[in-house]
Chain A
Amino acid sequence: MKHKKAWLFIAISFAMLVVSLVLSLSVGARDIPISDLIATLRGESVNALYAPILTKRIIRTVLGLLAGLALGTAGCVMQSITRNPIADPSILGVNSGAALFVVSGIAFFGAKTPGQYIALALAGAGIISVLVFGIASFVPGKGAVSYNNANPIRLALAGAAVSTACSSLISTVMLPRTNVTQEFRFWQVGSISGGTWNNILTVLPLLVVGMVLAILLTPSLNALALGDDIATGLGVNVTRTRALGALSGVLLCGAITALTGPIGFVGLMVPHLVRIFCGVDLRVQIPVSAMDGALLLILADVLGRYIGRPGELEVGIVTAFLGAPVFILVVRKAKVGKL
């Protein structure tokens, strides 16, 4: 029965993904009817305006697809290595870490090119996520970092604390420099509208490495879900699996965050949804989460364009509005543990 439900879910998701891709190409400040869309894609010139609009929208859709795949996968991997239902870049303070590094780079080192932004965002995401997780699981006196210590509430609070610190530091860097403010406020809201092929190609290798790593890790991650002791008994190197999983998560989130700015909650919502229908086997969960991540992100983007007419509502805002209620639901269902 479960099996049937899972296949049905996957099939529906896939169909919806295809529909959302088409919608993403056709909906916008100027809608392109589907028939014209197909004609233009074939190379017939229906309307002189369509070709340039469509070029933009194709880049945007590809970027949305990649971002969704990456964030869905990253959320799934992060939740499984931390065994924590609310592990998501937006809660773990990863976004604000990336933002802090990017702002400092713009202000102090004159960072300008997307390559530099990406390197900075990656470094920030990595350092801050390690820091947050360390704070949540570190026990003073014992000195031992035990992953089981980091229950959801501690993780969330550590993330909130570090985010506060980061945003204060961001203000210190930014307030005396108005030019940085201008650059940064556009980056602070996650959006997939500003991509170029060049930028996408720059981060693509990172995304591929992160994805491949996540897929290669699935058997070990499955074992990890049984508990550290059993996983070790089954011949899994627990520490290495966690480290590689974290690397994959940070690569995926960091690279996408560098391109699009912070897009929260996608990685949080999707794995929970997928688990309901497809069960806990990560060999299924990770690829389906990736697909549904893309579906969610593109739908959110289309929705943002639809609601925000004649302009648009950035996708990061839409996902925050969809995601926060889901987060609250998850919190209410999960055993949040004690402080």
Chain B
Amino acid sequence: MTENRIGITEAGFRARRSRGRRVLAILAALGLAAACFLLVWGDQVYSIGTVLRVLFGEQIKGASYAVNTIRVPRVLVGALAGFAFGVAGNTFQKILRNSLASPDVMGVTSGASAVAIFAMMVLGLSGAVVSVLAVAGGMAVALLILLISQRGGFSVNKMILTGIGMQAMLQAVINFIILKTSDYNISDGLRWLSGSLNGVRMKDVPVFAVVVIVTTVIILLLSRDIQILGLGEELPVTLGMRPKLMRFMLILSSVVLCAVATAVTGPLASVAFMAGPISVRLLRTGGTNTLHAGFVGVIIVLVSEALGQFAFSTRFPVGVITGIIGAPYLIYLLLGMNRRSA
């Protein structure tokens, strides 16, 4: 009898694990397909063969420039940013046990944006310095929110509301900088603020990639702790964890991820907040879904980029599209929560 039950449990575990792997494979394939589409399609449509030949170093007039200088960085940065926002958002949501508690809802992205736009528009900086400053800004905001909501007993709701308040303040800063910027620079600033892959260059990629990979590995190594933190406030302590420390470490890594992505692409609205819940729906279990969330983020960003580039008569930056997709989803989530608690 007992053995039979163990057998059933094991079978269930294997089924879930293989489902997890299948879903991951499908998501990765979809992401790759979107990337290929973006490499092939454009003002000038090249065949996959041409694109591959160019990628392997052959010089083809026109195609080499379009693919190597414009399309490849765009796809790489888009994918990295989508992955970063997806993983960061999912980690936040998991450890705070609330699908609304993502870095963009809570003002962390705004913190990074405010500092980055200040660095770019007022100080005239660019490149890696901006990234470092953006990470510092996002970190400062996240720490402040954590500190404020930690006092008098930690509560996720307090943390979310504190974040929303913080965001209102940071938004005022951003608007102020935009207001005082000279007319000449203004459209660049606005485009960056709405989240755009235009003008990204190959030299942005290496550092970005290294940061994303390192932090993702850290988060993956801690994924067991993520699962345990998701069980509640008391249980992790009983299980011999140090929830404050782990939460701090995980939030730190997530903040680094989304702040670096923000510095490169601008705040891509709603990606961080959509990716996690979608990947959970796809998996249908509460298992580890860090990578799944990352790939969902990649797909969201690349598909939105394709839509923004080719679906309308005007080209829209990718962040505008993700924002328009994200808002109804947020409202849908809210309505679902109303049902549960009513």
Contacts and interface: CB of A to CB of B under 8 A. Distances in A.
A157 B179 contact: no
Q: Which of A153, A162, A178 has the most CB of B within 10 A?
A: A153
A168 interface: yes
Interface string A63-86: 000000000000000000000001
Given A324-B166, A328-B148, A331-B165, A168 B269 contact: yes
Contact of B183 (A161, A182, A321): A182
Interface string B287-306: 00000000000000000000
Contacts of B20: none
Contacts of B191: 175
Interface string A147-170: 001001110111111101101110
Contacts of B337: 154, 339
A176 B162 contact: no
Contacts of A62: none
Interface in A192-247: none
Contacts of A137: 338
B160 A314 contact: no
Given A188-B178, A317-B172, A317-B176, A165 B328 contact: yes
A7 interface: no
Contacts of A156: 160-161, 164
A336 B172 contact: no
Interface stretch (A9-17, A23-31, A44-52, A138-146): A138-146
Interface string B133-153: 000000000000000100110
Interface string B71-96: 00000000000000000000000000
Given A172-B324, A175-B317, A189-B176, A164 B338 contact: no
B339 interface: yes
Contact of B158 (A313, A317, A332): A332
Contacts of B59: none
B338 A149 contact: yes
A271 interface: no
Given A156-B161, A331-B158, A168 B327 contact: yes
Contacts of A161: 327, 330-331, 334
Contacts of A332: 148, 151-152, 158, 162
A175 B190 contact: yes
Contacts of A139: 338-339, 342
A290 interface: no
Contacts of A317: 172-173, 175-176
Interface residues of A, number: 58
Contacts of A313: 176
A162 B105 CA distance: 12
Contact of B172 (A165, A167, A316): A316
A326 to B, nearest CB: 9
A164 B270 contact: yes
Contacts of B148: 328, 332
A114 B319 CA distance: 31
A174 interface: yes
Contacts of B166: 324, 328
B316 A175 contact: yes
Contacts of B334: 135-136, 154, 157-158, 161
Nearest to B316: A172
24 contacts: A135-B335, A141-B339, A142-B342, A149-B342, A156-B160, A157-B160, A157-B330, A158-B331, A161-B330, A164-B327, A165-B328, A168-B324, A171-B320, A172-B316, A172-B320, A314-B179, A316-B172, A317-B176, A321-B172, A328-B161, A328-B166, A331-B165, A339-B98, A339-B337
CB-based closest 10 A-B pairs:
A168-B323, A165-B327, A320-B172, A324-B169, A161-B330, A327-B165, A331-B161, A176-B314, A139-B342, A171-B194
Given A140-B336, A162-B331, 18 more contacts: A137-B338, A138-B338, A149-B342, A160-B167, A164-B269, A165-B327, A167-B269, A171-B190, A171-B320, A172-B316, A175-B317, A182-B183, A185-B179, A314-B176, A320-B168, A320-B172, A328-B148, A328-B165
